[in-house]
Chain A
Amino acid sequence: MPVLDVKDLSVTFGGLKAVNQFSLDMPKGGLIGLIGPNGAGKTTVFNLLTGVYKPNSGTMELEAENGQTVSLIGSEPWKIARLGMTRTFQNIRLFKRMTVLDNVKVSIHPGVKYNPFQAMLRLPVYRREEERIDQQAMELLELLGLQDKAEEMAASLPYGEQRKLEIARALGARPKILLLDEPAAGMNPQETKELTSLIRTIRDKLDITILLIEHDMSLVMSICERLLVLDYGTLIADGSPEEIRTNPQVIKAYLGEEVGGSC
């Protein structure tokens, strides 16, 4: 059973159909890429999946703990995050005035075992939970190589590390599904290579399903097991990287009319 089953998701903004009948079945542990020209609607799809936008039609079913499915349609973003789907952002949205470690701790917060009263009274459960949160957060920072910067302000990190921090933060929620929105944007080839193996490690080690938006084809082609191609809000192709690479519609979407043929 797919961990996320999306059927015919559509949303219209003021007369423009931004996403048209988007469908996707995400297998558990999959590493799927969502690509397409700029403005195709990829981030809009992410926003639909995470509840930032409410779709006008379609269904979204998430596999829940007990094997049942839960419909995500109409749910608020925070509910969807708690159900197990978190994301990173195209334009970095870190908590700038908090430390690196605290940024990660925020996503670990839901489900904390003490309430604000107990926090004010500093009861023993507070200390126990803080240790647990601290440990989990540090583990994630270590996974992403940021452990030395734990006490620094998030805003002071160099760009590439800020992107990694966003990933660490998204992982803090122990998600089943991780949505990465252009994780390699602005990175040089070296950083991109590191990121590629990092993403693979995350998927393998944490047993997570990953859907990523990316323009960097080297990254996309090397780790994605499957690609979805979006153009003007519509899914125009869905298959393995090899199939997509040679798909004429995809080529047309990126490059315009086929070069060659009758000149």
Chain B
Amino acid sequence: METFLKLLIIGLTVGSIYALIALGYTMVYGIVKLINFAHGDFLMLGAYAGFFVLSHMGVNLGSTLLAFAVAMVLCAILGVIIEKICYKPLRKAPRLNALITAIGVSMLLENGSKTLPFIGPNPRSYPQLNDQTLYLFKVLSDGILKATGFYIAPVQLLVLVVALALMLILNYVVNYTRVGKAMRAVSFDMDAASLMGIHIDTIISITFAIGAALGAAAGILYAVSFPQINPYMGIMPGLKAFIAAVLGGIGIIPGAMIGGVVIGVVESFTKGYISSLWADGIVFAILIIILMARPGGILGKVTREKV
């Protein structure tokens, strides 16, 4: 039982990180029907941004908050720039072209970062969050231990709480604000939305920005959980997050959250009970099964193209 809960918590933690990334994939896909291959790399960029803040300012509550802020803002801006330069010109082009471009962007982000002197190809060790920073979470952790006899590390609580908070904020923005309404309208029907006076370019930029920011936050959460960062760290989580998005229903926001958690938990249990060799294979097999059985995903429905 002890192992089961332990694996479950790990699964939920990693799954929340996957969910944050999957949200970016799903939102962008919903709005411009593009699988943004480069999205996973925001994990990496966010992690590095946080790395620099924390290395220079030491680890404390203020610097950690600053790290998140810097990473999210930087990646949001980068996301908008990438969209404007690389994807916008291809909005009317065949989807294949945009996909290929996305691959190029991904490679560029990974290998370009590698050549930058302040990043470099070698893995870096991430600053650990000390007890002072995690004070609140330490208290929570102790409380849970006392109440249930079960130990959840403060870092894990940090990940869960931050991820949940971000998802709640996103949910609020998408469902209860005008911007969110515009985003939903554009993803439903771009032409009709523009006829209603919605400024499409702005909405698309906002979507990319939000997605990138979430990915960046996920990056810092990932880095404090698995404290080694390298330029290619975004690839596998990105791939798994995409599978999660498909699992939940690509283009559907709650689907990305559910999918992320499911993938995280499945991966964790596979690593724990079977073997970590098989973990990747099983996640991938989930993709195949979903595509065969229910390509719309758990929450999805199949839409018909007008002929």
Contact = CB atoms under 8 A, between A and B. Distances in A.
Complex contact flag A–B (Cβ < 8 Å):
yes
Interface of A: 13, 43, 47, 52-53, 89
A3 B307 CA distance: 25
B304 A13 contact: yes
Interface string B287-307: 000000000000000001001
A110 to B, nearest CB: 20
B304 A43 contact: no
A53 B305 CA distance: 10
B189 to A, nearest CB: 13
B92 to A, nearest CB: 15
B304 A89 contact: no
Contacts of B304: 13, 53
A255 to B, nearest CB: 27
B305 to A, nearest CB: 9
Nearest to B305: A52
A13 B307 CA distance: 14
A92 to B, nearest CB: 13
A89 B305 CA distance: 14
Contacts of A53: 304
Interface string B264-307: 00000000000000000000000000000000000000001001
A99 B304 CA distance: 30
Closest 6 CB pairs of A and B: A52-B307, A47-B307, A53-B304, A43-B307, A89-B307, A13-B304
A52 B304 CA distance: 9
A53 B304 CA distance: 8
Contacts of A89: 307
A52 B306 CA distance: 10
A89 B307 CA distance: 8
A13 B305 CA distance: 12
A38 to B, nearest CB: 14
Contacts of A47: 307
A137 to B, nearest CB: 25
Contacts of A52: 307
A94 to B, nearest CB: 15
Contacts of B307: 43, 47, 52, 89
A171 to B, nearest CB: 20
A43 B304 CA distance: 14
A47 B307 CA distance: 8
Nearest to A47: B307
Nearest to A77: B307
A47 B304 CA distance: 12
Contacts of A13: 304
Nearest to B301: A14
A52 B305 CA distance: 10
Contacts of A43: 307
A91 to B, nearest CB: 9
Interface in B128-184: none
A88 to B, nearest CB: 12
B304 to A, nearest CB: 7
A78 to B, nearest CB: 14
B302 to A, nearest CB: 11
A43 B306 CA distance: 10
A43 B305 CA distance: 13
A230 B304 CA distance: 22
Nearest to B304: A53
A53 B302 CA distance: 12
A223 to B, nearest CB: 25
6 contacts: A13-B304, A43-B307, A47-B307, A52-B307, A53-B304, A89-B307
A37 B307 CA distance: 18
B303 to A, nearest CB: 9
Nearest to A90: B307
A89 B306 CA distance: 12
Interface in B236-261: none
A204 B107 CA distance: 61
B278 to A, nearest CB: 37
A46 to B, nearest CB: 8
B49 to A, nearest CB: 44
